A and B are shown apart, each in its own frame.
Chain A
Amino acid sequence: AQRVTQPEKLLSVFKGAPVELKCNYSYSGSPELFWYVQYSRQRLQLLLRHISRESIKGFTADLNKGETSFHLKKPFAQEEDSAMYYCALAYNTDKLIFGTGTRLQVFP
Chain B
Amino acid sequence: NAGVTQTPKFQVLKTGQSMTLQCAQDMNHNSMYWYRQDPGMGLRLIYYSASEGTTDKGEVPNGYNVSRLNKREFSLRLESAAPSQTSVYFCASLTLPGTGSYNEQFFGPGTRLTVL
Contacts and interface: CB of A to CB of B under 8 A. Distances in A.
Interface in A29-60: 32, 42-46, 49, 51
Interface size class of B (residues with CB under 8 A): 20 to 34
Interface stretch (B12-20, B36-44, B63-71, B72-80): B36-44
Nearest to A93: B97
A45 B109 CA distance: 10
Interface of B: 4, 31, 33, 35, 40-45, 48, 50, 58-59, 90, 92, 94, 96-97, 101-102, 104-105, 107-110
30 contacts: A6-B42, A9-B40, A32-B102, A42-B109, A43-B107, A43-B108, A43-B109, A44-B90, A44-B92, A46-B104, A49-B102, A49-B104, A51-B101, A51-B102, A86-B42, A86-B43, A90-B102, A93-B97, A93-B102, A94-B31, A94-B50, A94-B96, A95-B33, A95-B48, A95-B58, A97-B45, A98-B44, A99-B42, A100-B41, A101-B42
Interface residues of A, number: 21
Interface of A: 6, 9, 32, 42-46, 49, 51, 86, 90, 93-101
Contacts of A49: 102, 104
Given A43-B110, A44-B90, A96 B105 contact: yes
A106 B114 CA distance: 30
Given A9-B40, A95-B45, A96-B45, 7 more contacts: A43-B90, A43-B107, A97-B45, A98-B35, A98-B42, A98-B43, A100-B40
Contacts of A44: 43, 90, 92, 107
